[in-house]
Amino acid sequence: MTIPRRSLRAAGTLAAAAVVGLTGAVLTAGPAAAHTPTWDVTCTEVSLHLTAYNDKVTNKVTVTVDGKELLPAETFGKGLEKTIDLPEHDKALTVHLSVKAGDGDQYSKEDTKQAPVCEGKTPTPTPTPTPSETKPSEPSETPTTASPTPTDTPSETASSSAPAAATPSPSSPDLAETGSSSATPIIGGAAVAVLLAGGGIMWSVRKRRTAQH
């Protein structure tokens, strides 16, 4: 029994097509299965482990915390290993991961996790403002008491405060001179002369009266 050549050619064509189809499927499934966007979130940090990406295209990753960027859009190739510190917080944070694969949206990833509060850390209470106490203003300089400086000579004020001796008025009559005056010897001599003269006159008068009788 002979098989026609046309049948053999047709069978060969089908087999080749099947091989090509399987090879394409494997090649297509390979990159898709290779993209591995793994990440972890703790109370203090976010760890990114992006591996087996296509380095022939541009891939991007972004991390946000409560809607604010923690990691701005960063490009990477075949993979990215990165650890990012979280800000201090007293309540759980919402962390969102966004990975944009350059070889198709089917390889991109959007995921959200919660960052808990670290154990043993209590929220810091907000201090209540207290009215400030008004303190009396302190003197800027301490007053000093100047000690008097002793003087060897009496002050002019004390000497000027003594009562001044009264001086006779020019219109008043001359006062009698005291014995300490320089005219005292002359006055005494004149008095003696007057007394002697008076005594002589009295003696002469008595002698005349005696002669008349």
| pLDDT of residue 70 exceeding 50 | yes
> If we measure between CA atoms, which residue out of 63, 18, 27, 59 comes closest to residue 45?
63
Top-ranked range on mean pLDDT: pick from 28-37, 75-84, 137-146: 75-84
| pLDDT of residue 136 exceeding 80 | no
> What pTM was estimated for this model as a whole?
0.45
Please list the helix, strand and coil fractions of the chain in percent, rounded to the nearest 5, in that order.
30, 25, 45
| pLDDT of residue 104 exceeding 60 | yes
Element (H, E) at 210: helix 184-212
Summarize the confidence of residues 125-142 as an average pLDDT.
59
Top-ranked range on mean pLDDT: pick from 75-84, 119-128, 163-172, 195-204: 75-84
pLDDT > 70: percent of the chain:
53
Between the alpha carbon of residue 145 and those of residues 149, 150, 155, the distances in Å are 12, 15, 21
- The per-residue pLDDT for 186 is 75
- The per-residue pLDDT for 93 is 96
- Give the residue with greater pLDDT, 36 vs 142: 36
- Give the residue with greater pLDDT, 164 vs 187: 187
Summarize the confidence of residues 8-28 as an average pLDDT.
48
- The per-residue pLDDT for 65 is 97
Question: 63 has which bridge partners?
Answer: 71, 97
Summarize the confidence of residues 6-11 as an average pLDDT.
55
**Summary mean pLDDT of the chain:** 73
